[in-house]
Structure 1
């Protein structure tokens, strides 16, 4: 299956040889478990990164201990009083953009990149690292994501699945590090794991959210495509949680997702992706699996706790679509965020998404796999 796409500015984003892997923030125990689970299958050219990750994880142990001594009791006593708001949807469907729009509301907070990079100790180290050592940390990040030119930064909203990874919790995102394997697929929807493993996942997730709440008690807005698979588990933890699901043209989503995984494998993987013939079936399979789990969860959600919108409609009329979202989920008067929203939209007016020219045969193959979902959303 082939398509033509207009790539991002490669002069700024083809930086895989020095872009630091997200795994640099892992706990030592989590890093060693991930290595062991994946049979230490680090390719020779990535061994220097593996050594550096091991060293930084080892050096981080005393800071993690000090963090727990200083903050552990307060974290345990913290209550998450505001039910979280989850942005869900398939990868490359607009979840990042919607997440950023929702964080313009001053009654909301969110996990940022630093907190997801170092979730084991950010209460202790974030201020010092991002201020006193800000110039060093800024040099560690590329200016934009390698697959879509979206700006990145330590204080920008980030996907909390990366925090779980760096806490050493099993995650299907381990595939980013080991693309020739398919680690932890059961952690997409969590339905098939043993009760003890599920409890550990829940405890780690809730503890991370308590840390965020301790830093800022406002409603937490979370975004991760993986949460689309897990709504039932999330409702067990937060019965009053709210969800907003964004969808995008599945034909574009398919090719954009392929591009994303390939870029992440290259930028932060610890082994070469090699033959990626299995990537297309992986994307086809996860898309269907995600919508199956979403459909199972829909009856559990009342009208004021679930809203659905299309990416294309959000692009066409962001103010109107955000107004409908706020009304459906009863998030309060949206008028208070319009000035922030207008400034944000003005500042990002020049952003261009990647475009894809999809051959008729390729479109037919996608329709054969996802036709019922394509028809449901009017594509």
Structure 2
């Protein structure tokens, strides 16, 4: 929907870039099947664009496996990853940006996540010739983007045909797609095995040429702690939380903006508000049930507001809790980053009184747990 409540007309040009341009043939077929082929009229031409592109990705995937497959298989992660978790729009991206300033850390790039099937083989060509495919800023929050900046590994799983709730972006007007992929417990044993193999193969492919410790960021991983610990027993987790009265409107804006830009339907987003309320509750319930599985010294929790107010001190606490070395190498880089981005400001949203009331009712447990009650009331009265 546009700001005036009217549905926008779809963009009809053949070259409008979408996440899904990185799908291999299986991933593209699975995406269409999950969406029940319900393309709006103005987007059906994308089937003709993406189908041959996906076949091309599959061909290059085979070639990469022939050339690098054994080397990838033999690659071992030097250290288990650091996972940044938390609900969407809680500051996970900012924290990820801070963590990867440390020169001892590696991370999945936007190019690797959007083209996970053959980036070793074609990376330099793709980044050189297809730079036009991404803009300079993210549409939902104006943060900088480029092929070499950090990205969520969840997108790589999508492009490789794995179950993911992000497939909903393509068909925003449909019923919820792949809800079982949030915590993986309701996947079939075969699906779960394939999901784990796909993630591990992706991380090993990244590490083949850069063995530094990986720092990964995906809100959906907040629900997957048991599986991630099975795969990486020494993984470390950093959970960031933010005022729910800020998270709600920002999350609504995220999904409406991203589905408008990367979907195959003119989004009217039926039931979006209910899904946002539901998934928030599910994420924190699942996190609360499973974070006790994380061994001592491998989990740290912080508030977004504290990170913004005192970034160096909060990063020091993360390094101390997780026993990470090299904080002294991070500090000068973090100071430079903060100076360069001093003019950046987050989006401001006017919260509707009805939404403020619903947030206070549906998310009360989380609001109280993290001490946001009075902030929320004050913000509601101010709006």
Shorter-chain TM band:
over 0.9
- Residue 60 and residue 333 in structure 1: after superposition, are their counterparts in 2 closer, same or farther (change >3 A)? closer
The 2-side partners of 1:217 and 1:144 are apart by 29
Secondary structure at the counterpart of residue 356 of structure 1: coil
User: Residue 289 of structure 2 corresponds to which residue in structure 1?
Assistant: 296
Q: 2:237 aligns with which of 243, 254, 262?
A: 243
Q: Which has the higher contact order (CA 8 A, sep 6+)?
A: 1
Equivalent of 2:90, from 89, 93, 96? Answer: 93
Note the C-alpha offset of 1:19. 4.2
Instruction: Write the distance in 2 (CA, Å) between the matches of 1:155 and 1:43.
Output: 33
Question: 1:84-125 CA distances to partner (integer Å, 9 max, x unpaired)?
Answer: 000000000000010011000011000000000110001111
Question: For the residues of structure 2 that align with 1:82 and 1:244, how far apart are their CA atoms?
Answer: 16
Aligned partner (choices 150, 159, 177) of residue 157 of structure 1: 150
Inter-CA distance 304–55: structure 2 relative to 1 (3 Å threshold) = same
1:70 counterpart (52, 67, 70) = 67
User: Which residue number in structure 1 is paired with residue 327 of structure 2?
Assistant: 334
The separation in 1 between residues aligned to 2:173 and 2:137, in whole angstroms, is 26
* 2:43 is the alignment partner of 1:49: no
CA contact under 8 A between 2:114 and 2:155: conserved in structure 1? yes
Query: For the residues of structure 1 that align with 2:12 and 2:107, how far apart are their CA atoms?
Result: 28
Q: What is the aligned partner in structure 2 of residue 105 from structure 1?
A: 102
Q: Which runs of 5+ in 2 are unaligned?
A: 4-9, 373-383
Q: Does the 8 Å contact 1:16/1:267 carry over to 2?
A: no
Structure-1 residue corresponding to 2:378: none
Query: Displacement of 1:48 after TM fit?
Result: 2.1
The alignment status of 1:374 with 2:367, answered yes or no, reads yes
Matches within 5 A, 1:117-156: 117-130=114-127, 134=128, 136-156=129-149
Structure 2 residue 344 is matched with structure 1 residue 344? no
8 Å CA contact 2:12, 2:43 repeated in 1: no
1:15 is displaced (CA, Å) by: 8.4
Alignment match of 1:29 (pick from 11, 26, 31) = 26
Does the CA contact (< 8 Å) of 2:106 and 2:214 recur in 1?
A: yes
2:185 aligned residue: 191
Equivalent in the alignment of 1:178? 171
Can you list the C-alpha shifts for 1:7-55, whole angstroms capped at 9, x where unaligned? Answer: xxxxxxx989664110000001110122123221111111222221112
Alignment of 1:273-312 (within 5 A): 273-274=267-268, 276-312=269-305
What's the offset of the Cα at 1:137? 2.0
- Structure 1 segments (4+ residues) deviating >6 Å: 14-17
C-alpha distance 159-368 of structure 1, shift in aligned 2 (>3 A): same
Q: Shift of residue 129 of structure 1?
A: 2.5
Q: Is the 8 A contact 2:43 2:264 kept in 1?
A: yes
How far is the alpha carbon of 1:352 from its aligned partner? 0.9
Q: TM-score, normalised by structure 2?
A: 0.91
Mapped to 2, the partners of 1:185 and 1:361 lie a distance apart of 27
CA RMSD of aligned residues (A): 1.6
Structure 2: distance between partners of 1:179 and 1:16: 18
| Secondary structure class of the residue paired with 2:300 | strand
Question: What's 2:311 paired with?
Answer: 318
Match of 2:196 among 198, 202, 211: 202
Structure 2 CA distance, aligned partners of 1:128 and 1:138? 10
- Measured after TM superposition, the shift of residue 126 of structure 1 is 1.0
Q: 1:28·1:61 contact (CA, 8 Å) conserved in 2?
A: yes
Deviation at 1:174, TM superposition (A): 0.5
